[in-house]
Amino acid sequence: MVSQESLNRLKPFIDEGETTIDGYSTSHEIGVLTDRQLLSLEVRGRENSTTVVDTTYLDQLGGVSIEHNTTPDFHQDKLLSAIVSLVLALISLALFGAIDAEGPATVLLLVGLGVGVLSLVLFAEAFNTPEDTVHIQLQTDTGETAWQARLDEEYLEFAETLSRTVSSAHATAEPATRTVGR
CA dist 153 and 155 (Å) reads: 5
| pLDDT confidence of residue 102 | 83
- Residue 33 pairs with which residues in a beta bridge? 22, 38
Domain limits, the chain = 4-71+130-169, 76-126
| pLDDT confidence of residue 117 | 95
CA dist 49 and 67 (Å) reads: 32
Looking at the whole model, is its pTM more than 0.75?
A: no
Distance from the Cα of residue 115 to its chain's centroid: 34
Domain 4-71+130-169 has CATH 2.30.29.30: yes
| pLDDT confidence of residue 37 | 92
| pLDDT confidence of residue 176 | 52
Nearest residue to 24 via CA among 42, 48, 44, 47: 42
Ranges of the chain with pLDDT below 70: 1-3, 6, 48, 171-182
| pLDDT confidence of residue 85 | 94
Secondary element (H or E) of residue 5: helix 4-10
